Structure 1
């Protein structure tokens, strides 16, 4: 009897472990947004329309996540062929208090030879091509009632309307770019797709979301070969699998930064971050010398709290730091990443991390050795 009871308790414990990994008792929430739908077909192909491709991939992605990640809650902006207003898609994510937003779209171009995948984060379009993609995706608001009032006079066809995105400071920029980069890597390595890179543009659906967000263009429906691939079950599965693998990488890194456990059997590879170089001192700290080789080796590893990421360099003193001092920063992948406090023992920063998160909720601890960020 005791043996049966022990087996029962062990089974229950193993089943609830994934949910115990979150201190607040909530599951990780990902919103999957199948672009277009209903009266809005999106890009029109010869054998299939964009709205159907997007939905097929979104449902397959959601199925993969739910099957292998019991600690993840999936919210869809649509699961059928219905029209959902652009602003409502973002509102669905915000109401769900999502940790991640993935919007799936299919590209189109005047050139029939254009092909490949690209993943967007929020920002100012630096090229005419990126701007045209944003204009096309944002034009869906023209199908909405009273869109001018709802979107505060934003004209999706006017280039001037997109100037506003130059001044947007997205606090989730780093996480969004990390996920976008991983998605593109998976497209290239796992699905053999042409990698058109990570890009930025002024997408309204990303502007209104309050969490790390990406918009994935899975291929060109205007290219006959790609259209056949995207219309097929095999093609949609390959695309969904690539995004799923990237999601697992992202979530593993997210859990690690939050100090939470995660299931390594979820097909999630360890999140490998490029070692940070080009250290940019904002305010210097003195190094202490040690007498023995072992002490010197220990002192080489320094832990800091990273609290903010930006495309801009703010210098030694800035109101953006909200009183944190001293502050230093390092440059990685074209972004300035700001840190505060430091200690040779990671555990010594836990109390400080709690304080910093009251000002910057996404702050986390990062380690450096000999001036380079630990992987």
Structure 2
């Protein structure tokens, strides 16, 4: 196990060197999207009622790519565009070599009981949630089809709970953007397609952890649930899912990158220019307060002052490429809200406390206000630390 951890630490520092590019691309640089259709070749993935995961994932990915390639400032890279087997680490290497802006792995879910349904999207994270771990174990198990996986993955066993939760977290610096993109995809699935929303979740996925850019894995639905499997296997369903995903990617690109899009009409071959500025996240004003109270403003790259014992818990509610006025009406009535500028990425935090149980109450309040992807962040002497480290020190 220690050999496995040391090897991944080495890989982490190697990826840090490879990922020195800015978090945000320049408007004259193409926005690079890596689409990763899960499984392939000898790896069928889930297979129920004749619905085969590898085929559905590939068809949806190609349709997403076709939608995005209409824009001349977007470049699409596929980890596979045919029915071939691609090793897990090679998928990540493809994205890293391309210096991609985002990595999206597309999969279908399955449940032995056959009654689960709905969509869920994962970001990299360590969790002990049983259902999240099962999904990660299933997707990580593909490495057993690689002839030298025991050597290549330093003894990692995808069926071992210790191995799964022992993966060193390399994706932390991209977590905010990964959550944002995941949320946009889930919102498209839910609001446009009326699919059951199983949420944005965290899981220890090897393929996500080896990429040096915001990376997510989306489960389109359960092919083990026959009605949903029929939808996923249909051309109509695949077209709708692909449009939802590509619209979410375009929305993410608009918010973080801006730029100028040129859309080419396939029938007339005429180009339409669409100028885009970096967008501001759409927020609904649910507050009935007539007087707008200014929230505490913290915009700094320096350590944030903290509470007693040097431990502070805050609720990160969003991250954006554009600065927002820190008033309750911009954050669905939440107050106080502070913000930290990290290389042009504005991270917005709700409230502050040295008590973890109180922080969980603030988290519940933020989720009730519409920030379903919000999460608790811990600081010690102004520096960000893990929740586990904070609880031990507190």
TM value normalised by structure 2? 0.65
CA contact (8 A) 2:261 2:276 kept: no
Confirm or deny that 1:272 pairs with 2:281: yes
Any stretches of 5+ residues in structure 1 without a counterpart? 1-20, 276-296, 317-327, 343-355, 369-375
Confirm or deny that 1:304 pairs with 2:306: no
1:4-55 C-alpha deviation (Å, 9 max, x unpaired)? xxxxxxxxxxxxxxxxx96484311110000000000000121221000000
Equivalences for residues 163-312 of structure 1 within 5 A: 163-165=165-167, 170-256=172-258, 265=274, 270=279, 272=281, 304=299
Instruction: Name the CA distance, whole Å, in 1 between partners of 2:348 and 2:203.
Output: 32
Aligned to 2:35, the other structure's residue is in SS state strand
Residue aligning to 1:162: 164
Equivalences for residues 66-77 of structure 1 within 5 A: 66-67=69-70, 69-77=71-79
Confirm or deny that 1:43 pairs with 2:38: no
Aligned to 2:257, the other structure's residue is in SS state helix
Instruction: Name the CA distance, whole Å, in 1 between partners of 2:144 and 2:122.
Output: 22
Cα-Cα RMSD = 4.2
Q: In the TM superposition, what is the alpha-carbon distance from 1:248 to its structure 2 partner?
A: 1.1
Confirm or deny that 1:53 pairs with 2:56: yes
1:267-299 C-alpha deviation (Å, 9 max, x unpaired)? 999552659xxxxxxxxxxxxxxxxxxxxx9x9
Residue aligning to 1:371: none
Instruction: Name the CA distance, whole Å, in 1 between partners of 2:302 and 2:176.
Output: 11
CA contact (8 A) 2:178 2:214 kept: yes
Confirm or deny that 1:34 pairs with 2:37: yes
Equivalences for residues 24-173 of structure 1 within 5 A: 25-67=28-70, 69-165=71-167, 170-173=172-175
Confirm or deny that 1:331 pairs with 2:287: no
TM value normalised by structure 1? 0.68
Number of aligned residues? 297
1:317-353 C-alpha deviation (Å, 9 max, x unpaired)? xxxxxxxxxxx996333x899xxxx9xxxxxxxxxxx
Any stretches of 5+ residues in structure 2 without a counterpart? 1-23, 263-272, 285-291, 326-339, 350-394
1:207-261 C-alpha deviation (Å, 9 max, x unpaired)? 10000000000000100101110110000011111111111111011115xxx56
CA contact (8 A) 2:171 2:209 kept: no
Q: In the TM superposition, what is the alpha-carbon distance from 1:63 to its structure 2 partner?
A: 0.4
Q: In the TM superposition, what is the alpha-carbon distance from 1:126 to its structure 2 partner?
A: 3.5
Closer, same or farther: CA 58–203 of 1 in aligned 2, 3 Å: same
Q: In the TM superposition, what is the alpha-carbon distance from 1:125 to its structure 2 partner?
A: 2.7
Aligned to 2:111, the other structure's residue is in SS state coil
